[in-house]
């Protein structure tokens, strides 16, 4: 039995509503933290709770963003791509809050201690590297920047999301001292998402070879016969 993508193909209006609903859902973790802080219900160590919760949500949004393409391929729901940018930007939004809570609530802007931390604690070094690598992706996420860079260069730049995912999971893995079960689950999900991409890329190459076509740039193919 084949899945029929037309079963759910939202109109532009429905998609706009879906985007609005998604925006609200994406803000819920923050609302929950605000509510908890207001009602003093974030546990014995609220600062740790806030920093960790924001870190978890950064990782969740990174993985959800990476799930969009495989889900689109499996279901045929091309409109899913229209939600990807928002999800990616939420990953960035939460990492900015996560970093801010570390710099402000955890370290009180003690730059000497922060520098030492970044240089001496591998999990902080990894977190900082992931954050720095996310900066250019967030800065180039709008349509104007896609046009300015050109699709090919933009795509190449945005492929660093895979490396960011690996560093982010490593950051989590390294900070957990004993029970690595949860970072292990994140690592397995990330591994699966990356493996699927590798398999699809391999299959695409095979198809192009079999059909006498060779990719010249992503999304465009030129028959070998036409190549000089």
For residue 27, give both structure tokens. 């803000």
Report DSSP letters for 151-218, one per residue.
HHHHHHHHTHHHHHHHHHHHHHHHH--S--HHHHHHHHHHHHHHHHHHHHHHHHHHHHHHTTEEEEET
Of 123 and 213, the one with the shorter C-beta distance to ligand HEM is 123
Instruction: Give least dist CB 79 to ligand HEM, A.
Output: 27
Q: How far is the CB of 74 from ligand HEM (least distance, A)?
A: 25
> Judged by CB under 6 A, does residue 102 bind ligand HEM?
yes
Residues 171-200 that bind ligand HEM (CB under 6 A): 171-172, 175
Q: How many CB atoms neighbour CB 130 within 10 A?
A: 22
Strand partners, 163: none
| Segment lying near ligand HEM (by CB under 6 A), choices 16-24, 81-89, 96-104, 153-161 | 96-104
**Residue 55 near ligand HEM by CB under 6 A:** yes
Q: Kindly state whether residue 87 participates in binding ligand HEM, applying the rule CB under 6 A.
A: no
Question: What is each CA distance from 142 to 10, 136, 145, 164, in whole angstroms?
Answer: 23, 11, 6, 19
DSSP character string of 63-119 = HHHHHHHHHHHHH--GGGHHHHHHHHHHHHHHHHHHHHHIIIIITTT-HHHHHHHHH
- Does 33 participate in binding ligand HEM (rule CB under 6 A)? no
- Taking CB under 6 A as the criterion, the residue among 127, 154, 161, 190 binding ligand HEM is 127
Residue window 154-173: x/- pattern of binding to ligand HEM, with contact defined by CB under 6 A: --------------x--xx-
Q: CA angle 16-70-147, nearest 5°?
A: 60
51 touches ligand HEM by CB under 6 A = yes
Closer residue to ligand HEM, CB minimum distance, 60 or 208: 60
Binding footprint of ligand HEM on the chain (CB under 6 A): 48, 51-52, 55-56, 58-59, 62, 95, 98-99, 102, 106, 124, 127-128, 130-131, 134, 168, 171-172, 175
């Amino acid at each position: 039995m084949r899945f029929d993508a037309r079963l759910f193909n939202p109109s532009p209006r429905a998609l706009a509503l879906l985007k609005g609903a998604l925006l609200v859902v994406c803000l819920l973790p923050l609302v929950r933290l605000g509510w908890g802080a207001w009602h003093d219900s974030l546990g014995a160590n609220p600062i740790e709770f806030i920093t960790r919760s924001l870190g978890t949500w950064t990782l969740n949004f990174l993985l959800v963003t990476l799930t969009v393409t495989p889900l689109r391929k499996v279901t045929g729901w091309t409109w899913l791509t229209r939600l990807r940018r928002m999800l990616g930007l939420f990953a960035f939004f939460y990492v900015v809050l996560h970093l801010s809570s570390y710099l402000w609530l955890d370290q009180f802007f003690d730059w000497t201690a922060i520098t030492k931390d970044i240089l001496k604690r591998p999990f902080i070094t990894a977190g900082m590297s992931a954050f720095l690598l996310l900066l250019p992706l967030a800065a180039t996420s709008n349509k104007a920047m896609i046009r300015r860079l050109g699709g090919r260069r933009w795509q190449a730049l945005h492929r660093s999301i895979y490396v960011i995912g690996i560093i982010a999971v490593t950051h989590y893995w390294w900070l957990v001292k004993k029970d690595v079960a949860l970072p292990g689950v994140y690592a397995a999900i990330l591994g699966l998402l990356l493996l699927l991409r590798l398999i699809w890329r391999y299959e695409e190459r095979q198809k192009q070879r079999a059909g006498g076509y060779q990719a010249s740039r992503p999304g465009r193919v030129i028959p070998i016969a036409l190549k000089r």
